[in-house]
């Protein structure tokens, strides 16, 4: 089955620690996205990538980093510079073209110990 | 800039009631419009979409019509079920960069 997988489902971070969230897709999509979801604030775009080896900052990129070395993979690192990382993180992908839909993974909930 | 405004929730309905969730937008050009649904603890799923004026998107009994004259894309369902309880997001895409502009979401609770 084609789809997007995110792991782990829950992740705990200690103070000062960097953590990496995994996102893999087998839909052969060019574009991938990372969103942060907080209660009552909807979805906010962290980073997006339209093609391998290229990515752009979204609206709230500070304290996060990404890489896009393979078409299938778009990992997100939450660095120690992100002072309020507790949130639900969603990865998505889409095909090329305008007006295309984004397909979402099941999400990773990050909690700070 | 482009934006999406949804009616605030939570919306609470009894089973078999009629549902409307309002969505209006501001955009340059001719955006594509989307409704997504998020069940508790899960990712978002595409519910329906419309890519040009007067198009009607429909899926699972939900419908929305792209109204350019009123810049709206209201979500409707004639008879809701308990299983429709979720958060519904309206979104638009107006550019070539494939970014979606999101509303804040509307929570729906359907009671038996």
CA distance A78 to A111: 11
Q: How far apart are the first and last CA of chain B?
A: 41
- At B107, list the tokens: 């929570």
Q: Using one digit for the tens of pLDDT, what is the confidence trace for B89-110?
A: 999 987 766 789 999 999 999 9
Which residues of chain A are within 8 Å of residue B44 when distances are taken between CB atoms? Answer: 43, 90, 92, 104
CA distance A55 to B32: 23
> Are A4 and A91 a contacting pair, CB within 8 Å?
yes
- At A93, list the tokens: 């992908």
Residue recorded with tokens 């782990």: A8
Share of chain A above pLDDT 70, in %: 97
CA distance B100 to B92: 6
Q: Between A76 and A16, where is the model more confident?
A: A76
Quick check: helix, strand or coil at residue B82? helix
Bond from prior residue into A8 cis (ω within 30 degrees of 0) = yes
CB contact under 8 A, A31 and B95: no
CB contact under 8 A, B93 and A103: no
Residue A1: predicted pLDDT = 62
CA distance A86 to A90: 13
Pick from B99, B105, B106, B107 the residue to mutate for testing the A interface (most A CBs within 10 Å): B99
| Segment B35-51 mean pLDDT | 94
| Segment B28-33 mean pLDDT | 88
Residue of B nearest to A99 (CA): B32
Instruction: Band the pLDDT of B24: cuts 50, 70, 90.
Output: very high
């Amino acid at each position: 089955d084609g789809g997007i997988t995110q792991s782990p489902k829950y992740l705990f971070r200690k103070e000062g620690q960097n953590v990496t969230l995994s996102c893999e897709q087998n839909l052969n999509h060019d574009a991938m996205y990372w969103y942060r979801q907080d209660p009552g604030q909807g979805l906010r775009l962290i980073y997006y990538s339209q093609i391998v080896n290229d990515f752009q900052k979204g609206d709230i990129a500070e304290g996060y980093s990404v890489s896009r070395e393979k078409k299938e993979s778009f990992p997100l690192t939450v660095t120690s510079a992100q002072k309020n990382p507790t949130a639900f993180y969603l990865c998505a992908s889409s095909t090329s073209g305008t007006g295309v839909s984004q397909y979402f993974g099941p999400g990773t909930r990050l909690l700070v110990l | 800039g482009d934006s999406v405004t949804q009616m605030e929730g939570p919306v609470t309905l009894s089973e078999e009631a009629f549902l409307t969730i309002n969505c209006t937008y501001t955009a340059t050009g001719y955006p594509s419009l989307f409704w997504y649904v998020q069940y508790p603890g899960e990712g978002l799923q595409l519910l329906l979409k419309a890519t040009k004026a007067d198009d009607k998107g429909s899926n699972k009994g939900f419908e929305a019509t792209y109204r350019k004259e009123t810049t709206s894309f209201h979500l409707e369902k004639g008879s809701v079920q308990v299983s429709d309880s979720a958060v519904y997001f309206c979104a638009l895409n107006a550019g070539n960069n494939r970014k979606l502009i999101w509303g804040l979401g509307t929570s729906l609770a359907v009671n038996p």
